[in-house]
Amino acid sequence: MLSFACDYMEGAHPAILRRLAEINLDKNTGYGLDPYSNQARQLIRQACGNDQADVHLLVGGTQTNTIIIDAMLRHNEGILAANSGHINVHEAGAIEACGHKVIGMPAQLGKVDIDALERHLATVTAEFNAVGWEHYVIPRALYISLPTEFGTLYTLAELRRLRALCDQYDLYLFVDGARLGYGLMSPSCDVTLQDLAKLVDVFYIGGTKVGALFGEAVVVTNPAIRLTRGLIKSHGALLAKGWLLGVQFATLMSDGLYWDIARNAVDQAMRLRQGMVDKGYELYIDSPTNQQFFVLPNDHVAALQQSVGIDIIEAADDRHTVIRLCTSWATTSQQIDQLLANI
């Protein structure tokens, strides 16, 4: 069945499956010490324009978020995040299970409200100075997602402002890039991968949602963050057959494949969006990336669900529903046409 319910419903780009089949019976070294993983890490450092960056290939998003945060924080320190941030709402307490508090911040369409964040930091710093820092969870890092859970983007100017705030208040800046390709390849995005590598302390390049079977490539640019292989293992996250990650990221990072297939998802999303607008549907969020949100009459939703997988977000009012439609690296023009014909 046609489905736009989420962006991790397909396997991997065929080039990855081909490479995995080619080396399937070779004897590979385990735990990410193989040549493919070395190559992937090197390609990622090059793409980031930072040959000193520490790169680690992990399996999934929740795991990756947990390990990065565990590497940054002590028990009396916390991480600021948009109230709607993935680590605050969709990870079953994985961050807290590991001993760290997520401090929710006001947000608009997935983006942390920077003015509110600035006021919060000023206020709590004054309060903590007055009463004694030892009674509070000390903000020590800021988590943002790019693009956000609502498909929106931070501008380069906003990222710079966040960097300045993090410098002022001694916070690490961490970017969850589970959908990084779908953000950076948006025509509306004025941030480059190299900008990111310069401006933030740690981020990751999401593979699971962008062409890989699974995998997230963590890039640590600030050596004060001790994200070591031992820490990864202590989280049960050092994959025995690490070359599976190496092959995937080496393939994706070669010849711009990752960026090309990410751009396809955005292009298809833009077609989908235009098609829906042309049909008179209301945009719920003005998203420039692969996740598109619309407000539909309830009976249109019910009809659509007969033939297309969609994601129901919430009731807009008694007679309308907010839905999400995602494209992915694998979405074809034909699928968009088919969707628009069905609606």
Within residues 134-153, the interface with a copy of itself by CB under 8 A covers 134-138
The interface region with a copy of itself, picked from 70-78, 153-161, 162-170, 260-268 by CB under 8 A, is 70-78
Is the Cβ of residue 208 or residue 221 nearer to a copy of itself in the bound state?
A: 208
For 228: left if phi > 0, alpha if psi spans -120 to 50, otherwise beta; the answer is beta
76 binds a copy of itself (CB under 8 A): yes
Give, for 324, the enclosing helix (H) or strand (E).
strand 320-326
Question: Which contacts qualify for 157-160: CB closer than 8 Å, 24 or more apart?
Answer: 158/111, 158/114, 159/191, 159/195, 159/196, 159/199, 159/200, 160/199
Give, for 326, the enclosing helix (H) or strand (E).
strand 320-326
In this structure, what token pair is assigned to residue 2?
């046609």
Q: CB–CB of 318/291 below 8 Å?
A: no
- Scanning residues 153 to 212, which ones bind a copy of itself (CB under 8 A)? 208-209
- Residue 263 CB, shortest distance to a copy of itself, in Å, is 19
Question: Rounded distance, CA 257 to CA 309, Å?
Answer: 27
The CA-to-CA distance between both ends of the chain, in Å, stands at 15
- Residue 313 CB, shortest distance to a copy of itself, in Å, is 10
- Scanning residues 251 to 310, which ones bind a copy of itself (CB under 8 A)? 309
Question: Rounded distance, CA 147 to CA 137, Å?
Answer: 27
Query: Among 38, 39, 62, 254, which residue sits at the site for a copy of itself (rule: CB under 8 A)?
Result: 62
Query: Among 54, 77, 149, 176, which residue sits at the site for a copy of itself (rule: CB under 8 A)?
Result: 77
Is the Cβ of residue 66 or residue 148 nearer to a copy of itself in the bound state?
A: 66
Is the Cβ of residue 89 or residue 156 nearer to a copy of itself in the bound state?
A: 89
Q: How many binding residues for a copy of itself (CB under 8 A)?
A: 84
Is the Cβ of residue 101 or residue 160 nearer to a copy of itself in the bound state?
A: 101
Is the Cβ of residue 122 or residue 277 nearer to a copy of itself in the bound state?
A: 122
241 binds a copy of itself (CB under 8 A): yes
75 by Cβ neighbours in 10 Å (0-12 / 13-18 / 19+) ranks as: exposed
- Scanning residues 105 to 134, which ones bind a copy of itself (CB under 8 A)? 130, 132-134
In this structure, what token pair is assigned to residue 216?
């997230």
Site mask, a copy of itself, residues 306-335, x = CB under 8 A?
---x--x-----------------x-----
